């Protein structure tokens, strides 16, 4: 068996639902993860694009996780000049964006109608509009350069992408990339440690 590679997303350490499997705070979660990484060193590699790494370091007490974080997490940007993306992925992205824009327009129209009927609660209607508009346009889509870098790096390395972001996992699947839901990542690490200790 060759080297197992994982590309890690911030959600493992920052998303409260996922993070709780590793620790109560991002720093505790990172320290728990690093104990697994130490046990798997030489058999498993863990990667992060630099933007994701910087993002996580905003949440983690760097002094508490150094130097292990530098030793066990490889920072690597994807080779954006050589990675090929199938044309159907671009077609699907364009179609998805068009659907989302139409859905966002319907959300806005509904809010305008509600504000005309209920002129006393305009602030509440605007808050609802923002929430629904954000959900219509951003949920389930790759909506940042960092998210896209995760997908590209996993493709380049033929690695397993670990994330709780539905958009990232959806587009990884469309591109034939192996992935693991971040909520199941700790159990997977435990299985790998057990396997390699035999």
129: Cα separation from own chain's centroid: 25
Query: Looking at residue 98, what DSSP letter applies?
Result: H
Question: pLDDT per residue over 72-119, tens digit each?
Answer: 999 999 998 887 777 777 778 778 778 877 777 777 777 776 776 767
Torsion of CA 11, 74, 62, 36, to 10 degrees: 70
Domain parsing of the chain, residue ranges: 4-81+144-197, 87-138
Considering only CA atoms, which of 178, 185, 173, 138 is closest in space to residue 23? Answer: 185
pLDDT of residue 137: 64
pLDDT of residue 120: 72
The mean pLDDT value for 44-57 works out to 96
Question: pLDDT per residue over 154-198, tens digit each?
Answer: 999 999 999 998 889 988 998 899 999 999 999 999 999 999 887
Task: Map residue 39 onto helix, strand or coil.
Answer: helix
CATH architecture for the domain at 4-81+144-197: 3-Layer(aba) Sandwich (3.40)
E strand residue ranges, the chain: 4-8, 44-48, 73-75, 160-163, 179-181
- Residues 11/163, Cβ–Cβ less than 8 Å: yes
Q: Report how far residue 191's alpha carbon sits from residue 153's, in angstroms, rounded to the nearest whole number.
A: 24
Query: Looking at residue 76, what DSSP letter applies?
Result: -
């Amino acid at each position: 068996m060759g080297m197992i590679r994982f590309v890690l997303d911030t959600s493992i350490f920052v998303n409260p639902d996922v993070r709780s499997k590793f620790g109560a705070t991002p720093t505790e979660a990172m320290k728990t993860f690093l104990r697994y990484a130490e046990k798997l060193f030489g058999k498993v590699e863990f990667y992060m694009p630099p933007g994701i790494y910087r993002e996580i370091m905003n949440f983690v007490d760097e002094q508490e996780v150094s130097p292990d974080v530098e030793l066990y997490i490889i920072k690597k940007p994807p080779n954006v000049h050589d990675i090929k993306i199938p044309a159907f992925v671009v077609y699907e992205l364009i179609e998805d964006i068009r659907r989302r824009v139409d859905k966002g327009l319907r959300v806005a129209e509904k809010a305008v109608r509600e504000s005309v009927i209920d002129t006393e609660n305009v602030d509440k209607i605007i808050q609802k509009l923002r929430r629904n508009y954000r959900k219509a346009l951003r949920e389930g889509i790759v909506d940042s350069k960092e998210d896209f870098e995760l997908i590209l790096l996993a493709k380049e390395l033929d690695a397993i992408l670990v994330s709780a972001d539905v958009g990232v996992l959806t587009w990884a699947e469309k591109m034939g990339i192996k992935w693991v839901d971040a909520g199941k990542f700790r159990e997977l690490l435990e299985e790998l440690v057990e396997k390699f200790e035999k």
